[in-house]
Structure 1
Amino acid sequence: MRKYLFLASVSLFSSTAFAQSVEDEDGAIVLADATQPTITVTANGLSTNVENTGQAVIVVDRAEIEAVQGGDATRVLQRTPGLSLSRSGGVGGFTAVNIRGANAEQLLVLVDGVRVADPAAPGGGFDFGNLLLGTAGKLDILRGSNSTIWGSDAIGGVIDISTRGETGASGNIEYGARDTLFASAAGGLSGEGYYAGLTGSWYRTDGFSTAASGTEPDGFEQLALGGQLFVDVTSNLEVFAHANWSEGDLDLDGFPPPTYAFADTLETQETRRHWGDLGFAWYGNDLTLRGSYSLSDTERDNRDATGATTFASDGHSERVALRGEYRAIGPVTVAFGAEQEWTDYAASFSPAGEADIFGAYVQLGFAMGRVAAHVGSRVDDHSLFGSNASYGADLSYGFGTDWRLRASLGEGFKAPTLFQLLSDYGNPLLQPEESTSFDLGIEKGTRGRGTHLALTAFRRDSEDLIGFVSCFGVSGGICTDRPFGTYDNTARARAQGIEAEAGFDLAPGLRLSGVYSFVDTEDRTTGLDLARRPRHTATLFADYEAPFGLKLGTDLRLVGASFDDAGNAVRLDGYEVFDLRAAMPLSDAVEIYGRIENVFDADYQSVAGYNSPGRGAFVGVRARM
């Protein structure tokens, strides 16, 4: 069992329970000491100590997820510097995540290492409205371009969500505003050389009117299930598997006649997703190998008030991958990998399409004492647009008692989506979007404990960005056979700014933390701000635990003004949202908790014309066995 825990903690698909757990002398699993290193998987594709990478990474574990409370992922994500959010309505509504001003579709999202973006979506991005935290064990978030390791989509950054993995059993149930009920559970069995775990969550809410002008509430319901298995075949060989499934039903508002203005309707959307992988890990004295086969599928059906399907889509991807690391000599390591992915999609009113992409990379690493450095390159070959090369490097240098300088330079690219290439609006001559980013930072301590300070400056330049081109009144050229419009590589963009993080233990049991970001974005073609990219965002959060167990917490989110559209004609005002949290253990196994979201009932919009939730109170109980 000791070997399993070690393998799980350094696994690409590790979860917090494994990475933070050890066995006591009686063989029972207990939480590790808080001084254990923070492990990231997004920096180089294999598990490494955060202090050994020059890239900007934060890791949010299950303990923090439970402290924040609730199933809404945005409540945790807003603690990430450089990250902004926009949501069309309530929980379940389309939720876009922008890192350092990049488009939401330029963020690579993984669950247990599996790509989960929808290949049938026009922009090929991931909708965080379909991500609830009941089954999540850890969020590993990298800011900055890193296509050298991850290939397509990693322009803004990478987020890897690990499924919960726990021995024994735990669960929670909560109820609150807008008739919202959220329940989740996780359990697992472990023995000498194996671990098997299951997790699930259920969420339902009556919601509120998605349309700011409406009164009819729009609800959301989702059921999600997941499982994982690790088995030691030999002392050096482990096999693993993950499987996840979710189904959600969302009420929508639309544009009804005769005015066709955004208003209440009885439209709905059903989203069904399944993804998973099967693979092996081999650990030798100098060589580590991980091979896997993975798949991801997203089906969507939009229905009108009568239940008739008005639009349907199905995006599917499969991938085989091999990653490895070889300890070449002394402090030098060689990381390498290769991947082959096949994607296809089908959608109403559009011809079906498919494509494949092959990528391979190599990265040299050096680590000695408090110095760590990496440099690597990658080549990808796409069946429809050809080849693309990416490069990256990073450096980390520790000094003083607990300080670290870090710097990184990375390139990113995003392949045109199947819809952009092959639909009735498609352009088969599209080239990939590309970016070059760099950052320089200084950091003291470790996020979440002791005195932690970090300041990072960054810049990213992007070119060949894909945009929609209207063909109204135009014939010939790029508009040939595309009377309603098409896609083209038309834009360039720049994003630059600073990110600041701080955390202090002010008194026994009392910790104050915060993040602030200044993100200046510009469409280099028009000179205007990028849409829905506030220049200033900040989150301040404080937590106190009394000697008798009572836990109190606050979260204050501050968001500056932005523009809703690329033409900068529609302004979105800045806003502040204040939340209160509390929890009280009744025993070693049972805890009651509650929170008030948006205490001062702030009225705000992150997407023009769409409501955001007002004040709401929630109470719950969690138990562990």
Structure 2
Amino acid sequence: MHKYLFLGVSLAAVATPALAQDEAAITVTATGTRIEVEDTGQAVTVIGMEEIEAVQGADLTRILERAPGVTISRNGGIGSFTAVRIRGSQAEQVLTVIDGVRVADVAAPSGGFDYGNLLSLDLDKLEILRGSNSTIWGSDAIGGVVVASTRAQSGLRASAEYGARDTFSTVVSGGLSDAETGFLGLSGTWFSTDGFSAAEAGTEADGFHQWALNGHARYYLSDRFEVFARSRYAEGELDIDGFPAPTFTLADTDDVQETRQLTGSTGAVYDTGSLFVSAAYSFADTDRDNLAGSGAQTFTSKGRSDRLELRGEWRPIGPLLLHFGAENEWTSYETLFDVGEDTRSTGAYVQGGIEWNAISGHIGLRVDDHADFGTAVSFGADASYEVSPGWRVRASVGEGFKAPTLFQLYSDYGNLTLDPEQSTSFDLGLAYGERTMDRRPVYGAVTLFQRNTDNQIEFASCFGRTDGICTNRPFGTYDNITRSRARGVEAELWARPADTVTLGALYAFTDAENRDTGLMLARRPRHAATVTAELRPVETVMLGADLRIVSGSFDDAFNSVRLDGYETFTLRGSWDVSERVQLFGRIENLWDEEYQTAAGYGTAGRGAHIGARLAL
């Protein structure tokens, strides 16, 4: 009870409008097209750089939790394997795009993206789309899409932070721009922490160190034609715990995981106003090495994807528009135990729409051909209607699919008869105002959703079986064995009762179950909420408070291992020393809550951090 009394006092006293973003922030690409939030019927949250900086720190999960329907599980501290789920999806069913490049690790067993390798230090914007959207994006977009954009701004910005567990981070970014010539920018980050034991029962701290470089370049050949190039390289080293003999239970080890990620894209854009066409080549490489304390390799993997794509938008008459695109992707993988395989997929889509006065609507179709499983067809539609000034009704239906990974197809546990996972999602919502609140002092939204997923791929144990799918598979294999359903409601409210005060609250109820067994899906809490408040007692000072509340869940598919619910509370603040210099700090997990998001793995206790920013 004392927690909530303290919270009430804190929110009353600590109530920068951290939501304020520039006008361009409401234009999103997470839908797969260039569109303003008010013109899409899909549920999209946009978080800009001001809000990212106000939240503070390198931990991206604290920012993602400001979008309803997003939950997190992590195998230890920052840098450890981090799963992001949207509306109760599998972590691997969330498509992740960084600076226009799809970054899934195609060598991972389920082919997802490990968010432990993405820090928020130099992020400029996050877009989170909730719902299936393979019509535009193709494979992987079952639960939703997360689009992250790194900084590409003129001028010089730098920041540094130090805090608990000997944690230090810094970022430097700069850029040169000319309205007639183009832009050239570069950012670099460094993060280091001694951490804490990933194994909750362990005593040895597990650290994480990562450095990253991002580059952006654009050159204007004319007022209609430009060429561009982008690249990102990140290299990290993570201390990991494991299951050593003789007990084979989670415990301290001297093992280390090294991860190297290189992504890039280059292409050209032609834009006449009525016709927009973008053509690009992109690639993503992810290499991992697991090393024992002796330095011997215990596991390695290499995954690569190469992609050619064409996207366009044509506005032939007034409010009518046509989106179109085609792409070809080649993927390959190899591990310490697999010689490696590769595959290819081709897809094309078309989407018609109208954006006229109070109504916007889009309907589209996509066809994909995969070298291993054949053809997949995806349908999607959405509509948005302003029923009165500020009030908008939104609705969408979308289909999604996820191709079997190379590991699921070709490894020692592979199954070449796998079908793609398929989903259909629906949502219906009502919204008032805009989350940026630059036009109205209140934003509110309520959304009902449901997603049905068929042919979900799971690992099938062959313990005690030698027949059927287990023939010659003594250790098990992958199979399409699960049907799942996730449904619920999302609610979000932001208010600015005064110029100096911002209040926010978001909540999601998610009922995610295995439709074959009736059991809850693992690590899917039914209830998740974030409450936040910010106050500027004077123009140069901001005080903030954030409360995260998550209900209990189960850690396993049999619902036999319980994860208790938890509440974490953070206080933060900043002081604008001058127009160019800002000091900031925070106390995370002020109540020193002990909790787990993955059974057996520890989480960070109370920790204080201080830092400074410079903008030139």
Does 2:151 correspond to 1:159? no
Q: Distance in 2 between matches of 1:37 and 1:110?
A: 17
Gaps of 5+ in 2: 1-19
Tell me which of 581, 591, 594 is aligned to 1:603.
Answer: 594
Tell me which of 429, 433, 441 is aligned to 2:421.
Answer: 433
8 Å Cα contact 1:409-1:437 kept in structure 2: yes
8 Å Cα contact 1:82-1:519 kept in structure 2: yes
Task: Please show how residues 114-513 of structure 1 align to structure 2 within 5 Å.
Answer: 114-191=101-178, 192-449=180-437, 450-513=441-504
Q: Distance in 2 between matches of 1:529 and 1:397?
A: 35
Aligned Cα RMSD in Å? Answer: 1.1
CA 35–108 in structure 1, closer or farther in 2 if over 3 Å, else same: closer
Tell me which of 520, 528, 543 is aligned to 1:529.
Answer: 520
Does 2:551 correspond to 1:560? yes
SS at match of 1:546: strand
Amino acid at match of 1:587: S
Q: Distance in 1 between matches of 2:213 and 2:21?
A: 31
Q: Deviations over 1:149-184 (max 9, x none)?
A: 000000000011011111110010000000000101
Amino acid at match of 1:221: H
Amino acid at match of 1:419: F
8 Å Cα contact 2:429-2:446 kept in structure 1: yes
Stretch moving more, 430-439 or 471-480: 471-480
Q: Deviations over 1:328-387 (max 9, x none)?
A: 222211100000000000001123110010000000011110100000000000001100
Q: Deviations over 1:590-615 (max 9, x none)?
A: 01000000001000000010000000
| Equivalent residue, structure 2, for 1:18 | none
Amino acid at match of 2:558: G
Q: State the Cα distance separating 1:261 from its structure 2 match.
A: 1.4
Amino acid at match of 1:185: V
| Equivalent residue, structure 2, for 1:6 | none
| Equivalent residue, structure 1, for 2:583 | 592
Task: Please show how residues 46-61 of structure 1 align to structure 2 within 5 Å.
Answer: 46-61=33-48
SS at match of 2:54: helix
Q: Distance in 2 between matches of 1:33 and 1:543?
A: 15
Q: Distance in 2 between matches of 1:460 and 1:258?
A: 43
Does 2:93 correspond to 1:102? no
Q: Deviations over 1:207-235 (max 9, x none)?
A: 00111111100000000100000111112
Does 2:601 correspond to 1:613? no
| Equivalent residue, structure 2, for 1:87 | 74
Amino acid at match of 2:230: H
SS at match of 1:105: helix
Amino acid at match of 2:513: E
8 Å Cα contact 2:490-2:506 kept in structure 1: yes
Tell me which of 51, 65, 74 is aligned to 2:52.
Answer: 65
Q: Distance in 1 between matches of 2:23 and 2:435?
A: 12
Q: Distance in 2 between matches of 1:453 and 1:444?
A: 5
8 Å Cα contact 1:200-1:225 kept in structure 2: yes
Q: Distance in 1 between matches of 2:602 and 2:436?
A: 33
Q: Deviations over 1:524-556 (max 9, x none)?
A: 111100000000000011111233411101110
CA 583–259 in structure 1, closer or farther in 2 if over 3 Å, else same: same
Q: Distance in 2 between matches of 1:160 and 1:382?
A: 24
Q: Distance in 2 between matches of 1:181 and 1:505?
A: 34
Q: Distance in 2 between matches of 1:331 and 1:181?
A: 51
8 Å Cα contact 1:322-1:338 kept in structure 2: yes
Q: State the Cα distance separating 1:506 from its structure 2 match.
A: 2.2
Q: Deviations over 1:71-113 (max 9, x none)?
A: 1100100101011100110000100011000000000000011
Q: Distance in 2 between matches of 1:147 and 1:326?
A: 21
Q: Distance in 2 between matches of 1:274 and 1:230?
A: 20
Amino acid at match of 2:137: W
SS at match of 1:51: helix
CA 36–291 in structure 1, closer or farther in 2 if over 3 Å, else same: closer
Does 2:98 correspond to 1:111? yes
8 Å Cα contact 1:351-1:422 kept in structure 2: no
Q: Distance in 2 between matches of 1:157 and 1:420?
A: 22
8 Å Cα contact 1:448-1:503 kept in structure 2: no
Q: State the Cα distance separating 1:35 from its structure 2 match.
A: 5.7
Q: Distance in 2 between matches of 1:47 and 1:448?
A: 18
Does 2:562 correspond to 1:575? no
SS at match of 1:67: helix
Q: Distance in 2 between matches of 1:222 and 1:84?
A: 24
| Equivalent residue, structure 1, for 2:9 | none
8 Å Cα contact 1:241-1:276 kept in structure 2: yes
Amino acid at match of 1:432: P
CA 285–605 in structure 1, closer or farther in 2 if over 3 Å, else same: closer
CA 34–115 in structure 1, closer or farther in 2 if over 3 Å, else same: closer
8 Å Cα contact 1:50-1:57 kept in structure 2: yes
8 Å Cα contact 1:134-1:185 kept in structure 2: no
Q: State the Cα distance separating 1:142 from its structure 2 match.
A: 0.2
Gaps of 5+ in 1: 1-31
Could you tell me the percent identity over the aligned residues? 53
Q: Deviations over 1:263-318 (max 9, x none)?
A: 11111100000001001100124211000000000000001111111100000000
Amino acid at match of 2:157: S
Q: Distance in 2 between matches of 1:588 and 1:71?
A: 23
Q: Distance in 1 between matches of 2:151 and 2:255?
A: 34
8 Å Cα contact 1:135-1:224 kept in structure 2: no
Q: State the Cα distance separating 1:34 from its structure 2 match.
A: 5.3
8 Å Cα contact 1:304-1:310 kept in structure 2: yes
TM-score with structure 1 length normalisation? Answer: 0.94
Q: Distance in 1 between matches of 2:461 and 2:380?
A: 36
Q: State the Cα distance separating 1:481 from its structure 2 match.
A: 2.7
Q: Deviations over 1:51-73 (max 9, x none)?
A: 00000001111111100000110
TM-score with structure 2 length normalisation? Answer: 0.95
8 Å Cα contact 1:134-1:200 kept in structure 2: no
